[in-house]
Structure 1
Amino acid sequence: MDQISNSTIAVFSRAFTLPGFDESLPAGEYNIETELSAPPDHLDPEAWKASVLVHLHPRASHPGLTRSLTVSLADLDRARARDKLSGKVFSQVYLEEQLADPMVRLVMLADGVSEAQIRHLYSGSNISDAEGERPIQKGPDHDE
């Protein structure tokens, strides 16, 4: 039985991660090879799940080194779905990146500012958050 595979390109608009791989992968195009049928030596062809070979970009420290990663089709689909959800306005993407930064979190902790307060500030509304915290004032002339 011949091995049936499909080659395609996956495009990620922002950096992403895949389960089981500790490296954040940069945005860009990735060559993808999907095996559509079970290998001939597979013991249980009915239980076989499609595997996906992702050809990774070379590292700057090793420009000639080619790398690839085998992941499940479901994991790749989840990563692509998360990437598609990145069509948010830039300020929302920026906010998420800043709130994920450990140094920003330490400064927030030192200043006694919660994530809810920061989200409230970026939302542009004057309604208190659900946790009952007082909103951050936008300026010295702001009335509560």
Structure 2
Amino acid sequence: MTTRTTQTVVRFSSAFLLPGFDAPQPAGEYRVDQDEESIDSLSRLAWRRVAAFIHLPAIAMQVPTQQMVPINPADLDAALEKDHELS
């Protein structure tokens, strides 16, 4: 089975909190990696998301260490939608 990782950047206009986080994260842009595996099909190539990770802290923050935290993509989508409604 073929796998791939896609990287995107998400933007939060205000602080946000995802399940499993100890504290809210500040507004800013964050890198998100999504691991996907191919789904074999006779008619076309399709991909299924198998994992997602957010890089902390925000891109603009200059710190010596960073971490990559596993997240539920649905939780991220909900937080981004909530942020969009508030802005």
TM-score by length of 1: 0.47
Identity %: 32
Distance 2:50 2:11 in 1: 20
Count residues with an aligned counterpart.
74
Mapped partners of 2:33, 2:49: distance in 1? 14
Q: What does 1:1-144 correspond to in 2, within 5 Å?
A: 1-37=1-37, 50-57=50-57, 63-87=63-87
When residues 21 and 12 of structure 1 are mapped into structure 2, their CA distance, relative to the original with a 3 A threshold, is same
Rg larger for = 1
1:51 touches 1:70 (CA, 8 Å); kept in 2?
yes
**Contact 2:35 / 2:49 at 8 angstroms: preserved in 1?**
no
* In 2: Cα distance, 1:79 partner to 1:51 partner: 17
Root-mean-square deviation (CA), in Å? 1.9
Q: Which runs of 5+ in 1 are unaligned?
A: 39-47, 88-144
Q: Report runs of 4+ in structure 1 exceeding 4 Å deviation.
A: none
Q: What's the offset of the Cα at 1:50? A: 3.1
Unaligned runs of 5+ in 2: 39-47
Q: Which has the higher contact order (CA 8 A, sep 6+)?
A: 2
- TM-score where L is the length of structure 2: 0.75
Q: Which has the higher helix share?
A: 1
Which one-letter code corresponds to 2:72 in the other structure?
S
Deviation of 1:49 after TM superposition, in Å, equals 5.4
Give yes or no for contact 2:34–2:49 (8 Å, CA) kept in 1. no
